[in-house]
Each structure stands twice: as C-alpha cells, then as structure tokens.
C-alpha cells in the first residue's frame, strides 16, 4: 500500500460498527439511548451525593468524580458516532482525531486513576479504621483527585507527542467508531517492535501500575476481612467493596485487553466489541451498579425523590 505523508493526511475514515444501511436507524436509537442513560445516570449520582449530607464522605466524593469522568469519557466518542450515523459521514479531520484521542485518554485514564484511589480509600477504611478520618481528610482527598487528573493529562500528552513524531501512515482507515489510540499507533509507519515497546511501556505506567495498586489494596482488604470473627461483619465489609470490584473488573478486562490485544493480535471485530464495552457500556452501568448494591445510595435516592414529590 502506498504510504501517505503526514503533511498530506488531512483526515481519517472511521469504518464504524456496520456498513449495513438497514441497521443504521437501529444503531442510532440504541447508542443514543445508551448515551442518555449513561449521562443521566451519572448526573443523578452526582446530584444525589451533592444534595445529601449523609454522603459527604471520601468514598462518595471519589464516586462523584468518577461519575463526572464517566460523563466526559462517554461524551468524547458517542456524540461523534451518533452524528456520523445520522449524516452517513465517517470522516474525521487529522486535528479532530488528535483532539478526540487526547480527551479520550485523559478521561479514560482519569477513570483508571480514580478506581485506584477508591481502592486505596477502601483499604484505609477496612484495614486502618481508627486512622481513616485523619488519613482521608478533605485536603488529602482533593490532592488525590488532582494527582489523578494531572497524571491522566500527562498520559494524554505523551500519546499526542508520540503520534506527532510519525512521518507517515500505512492507511487512513480505522476499523472503529472513534480514533482509538492503539489503532492509530498500529497505522503508523515505523518499526513494529518499537511500536509495541512504546505501547507496553506507556500502558504499563498508566494502566499496569494502577492495577498493581488495586490488587495490593484488595489483597490487604481480603486478608483483614477474613480475620473478622463474625459472619455479619465479613458480609458488611465485602458489600462495601462489591460495587467497586464489579466496576474495576468490567473496565479493566475490556479496556486493557483492547489496548494491549490490538498490538499482538489485531482483530477489528473483537477490538470494536471491547471498545463498545469500556467506552459506552461501563459508564452506563456504573450508576446502576453503585445504586443497586449500595444501601446508602438507595436511601439517598429515596430521600431525594421524597423531597421532589
């Protein structure tokens, strides 16, 4: 295939989910509904936590920030996809592609970091309950959120700098509905080994390290819970972590699998399914997971509903 010089690549073509024109109205309705559910559900979580003084604790402060990051994360890809389906246009400019990739990585990594911070919060609450108030004070909580944001911003800019070093691309077609960072790297015309090293290094720093932190936190948490003598105490401790673990598994299995898997065994159909899972399904399910498995959230939702009616 003829190489295209970067100065002449003014746009990319997103292949989308399907070329079948008969499926386009169904896809439009499906993903518009999922997007609205994701945005409204996370906004409801933010409103509930903000309006109920019982939830003004570090755990729910981090949950609010996670919901805000989810709204921004899902908004970086789905609106563009909905417009593309409606207008039957799959073109995105080179600048637009880099911009979308930057915000996608920023808020995706923000999700990653906040899930790690929430695991640390549960670790302190369960393993060091007497020091919880002092350790997770408001200043420390804000500091952790700021560190998460600036780490995510650094990851985003690193990807941008890497892409800007490319001088040519093998193709201008992406087999996805957004500018997937791993696929953009795959299209770059430079040594495959170097490409994989870059992907694994950046992925390990901003994906692997948080995973290690979460695993270590939950190892300590499980060890502490198993030492609790009463069955009721164990159940209560596990129930406070169940929602978080569900979200962590859903996000990391699909997100990291897509990022690293595309480097080893590129498969457009599998990559697209994984992309839909962690870019749309996970932000949509997070409010349901936290509200259905959390008594405090359900009680706060009921109080909020009672006040409105």
| pLDDT by residue, tens only, the chain of 309 residues | 333 444 456 778 887 777 777 788 888 899 999 999 999 999 989 988 888 888 888 988 999 999 999 999 999 999 998 988 888 888 888 888 888 989 999 998 899 899 899 989 989 988 888 889 889 999 999 999 999 999 999 888 888 887 777 656 666 777 788 888 877 777 765 655 666 666 677 767 777 788 888 888 888 888 888 777 766 666 666 666 777 777 777 777 776 666 665 555 556 666 677 778 878 888 888 888 877 667 777 777 788 777 766
Distance from C-alpha of 23 to C-alpha of 203, rounded to nearest angstrom: 35
DSSP element (H, E) containing 5: strand 4-5
Which SS3 state, helix, strand or coil, does residue 128 take?
coil
CATH number at residue 150: 1.20.1070.10
Q: For the chain, how many structural domains are there in total? A: 1
Q: Which helix (H) or strand (E) holds 258?
A: helix 231-264
Which residues form the domain of 36?
A: 4-308
pTM for this entry: 0.84
- DSSP letters of 25-79? HHHHHHHHHHHHHHHHHHHHHHHHHHH-GGG-SHHHHHHHHHHHHHHHHHHTTHH
Rounded to 5°, angle at Cα 157 from 94 and 65: 110
């Amino acid at each position: 295939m003829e190489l295209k010089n970067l100065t002449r690549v003014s746009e990319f073509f997103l292949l989308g989910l399907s070329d079948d024109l008969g499926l386009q109205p169904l896809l439009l309705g499906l993903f518009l509904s999922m997007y609205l559910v994701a945005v409204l559900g996370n906004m409801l979580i933010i409103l509930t936590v903000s309006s109920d003084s019982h939830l003004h604790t570090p755990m729910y402060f981090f949950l609010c920030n996670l919901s805000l990051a989810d709204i921004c994360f899902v908004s970086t890809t789905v609106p563009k996809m909905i417009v593309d389906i409606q207008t039957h246009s799959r073109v995105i400019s080179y600048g637009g592609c880099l911009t979308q990739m930057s915000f996608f990585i920023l808020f995706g990594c923000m999700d990653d970091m906040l899930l790690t911070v929430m695991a640390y919060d549960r670790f302190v609450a369960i393993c060091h309950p007497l020091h919880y108030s002092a350790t997770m004070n408001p200043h420390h909580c804000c500091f952790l959120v700021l560190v998460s944001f600036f780490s995510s911003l650094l990851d985003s800019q690193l990807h941008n700098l890497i892409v800007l070093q490319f001088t040519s691309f093998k193709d201008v077609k992406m087999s996805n509905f957004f500018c997937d960072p791993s696929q953009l790297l795959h299209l770059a015309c430079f040594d495959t080994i170097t490409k994989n090293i870059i992907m694994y290094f950046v992925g390990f720093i901003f994906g692997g390290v948080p995973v290690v932190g979460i695993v270590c936190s939950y190892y300590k948490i499980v060890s502490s819970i198993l030492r609790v003598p009463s069955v009721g105490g164990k159940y209560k401790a596990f129930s406070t972590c169940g929602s978080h673990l569900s979200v962590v598994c859903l996000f990391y299995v699909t997100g990291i699998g897509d990022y690293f898997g595309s480097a080893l065994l590129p498969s457009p159909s599998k990559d697209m399914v994984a992309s839909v899972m962690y870019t749309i399904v996970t932000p949509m399910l997070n409010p349901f997971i936290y509200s259905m498995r959390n008594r405090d959230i359900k009680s706060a939702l009921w109080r909020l509903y009672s006040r409105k009616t």
